[in-house]
Amino acid sequence: KMFSHDPHYIKTKKWNITNEIPTFSLVLSASAAEGAKKHVDHYLNKGLLKKIEGLEDLAKWMNLPLSKVKETVEQYQRDAKDGRDQWGKTSFSGVPIDNLMDETFFAGTVTPVLHYCMGGLTINKEGNVLDENQQVISGLHAVGEVSGGVHGDNRLGGNSLLECTVFGTIVGKRIPIRPRNLSLQLNQDVDEFSGGKAELPN
């Protein structure tokens, strides 16, 4: 939804790389920051989050009118009390205190990046790549982000590495490996045939 303002994206579902990369502000209340203290401290130390006292300084940091920021945060407070916002959100935690001028905020600028690719080649549970008729393509395997359909519409955090490990193990055990002694014998045969001028790749 964050790109819903862009006509090109709405029409094509693709980002126009000539456009300026959009950014948005991540804002946490003191209670929200406490609930994620380990991460907040980490990003504070890296300079990616800033501790800001009061709504007025937050508006200055965001370079927005105080009235607009106040209106937005107060609407969020009302939505939290009602238990639902206009986008269908029903879970609210870390809601700012009533007196926003006394609230401590933690804020940072977020830039969208390609974090994980959900699409890719269709595979079966053995890691075989399937054609458009869902038939196995002999000798072709896929593992990790190059494959698609493993996670459905979205993936759980941490499952990317798990996917690589599980399917990598499955495919790795199924692909035949040339025995070492056979490689030595083939190299000897090639040497005899070529007069010692050629060698099979390992």
Residues 6+ apart with CB under 8 A from 151: 118, 159, 163
Other beta carbons within 10 angstroms of residue 143's beta carbon come to: 20
Strand residues in the chain grouped as ranges (E): 24-28, 50-53, 104-110, 121-122, 128-130, 136-141, 147-148
Is the model's pLDDT at 177 over the cut of 80? Answer: no
- Over residues 176-182, the mean pLDDT reads 67
Burial class of residue 160 in the structure, from the number of CB atoms within 10 Å of its CB (0-12 exposed, 13-18 middle, 19+ buried):
middle
User: pLDDT category, 154, cuts 50, 70, 90?
Assistant: confident
Residues 6+ apart with CB under 8 A from 97: 29, 30, 31, 103
Q: 0.85 exceeded by the pTM?
A: no
200: its two tokens: 């099979």
| Residue 95 confidence (pLDDT) | 96
| Residue 91 confidence (pLDDT) | 92
| Residue 19 confidence (pLDDT) | 84
Which one-letter DSSP state was computed for residue 96? P
- Over residues 62-86, the mean pLDDT reads 96
Is the model's pLDDT at 190 over the cut of 70? Answer: no
Question: Which helix (H) or strand (E) segment is 170 a member of?
Answer: helix 159-174
**How does DSSP assign 110-123, residue by residue?**
E----------EEB
User: pLDDT category, 169, cuts 50, 70, 90?
Assistant: very high
Distance (Å, whole) CA 156 – CA 158? 6
| Residue 200 confidence (pLDDT) | 46
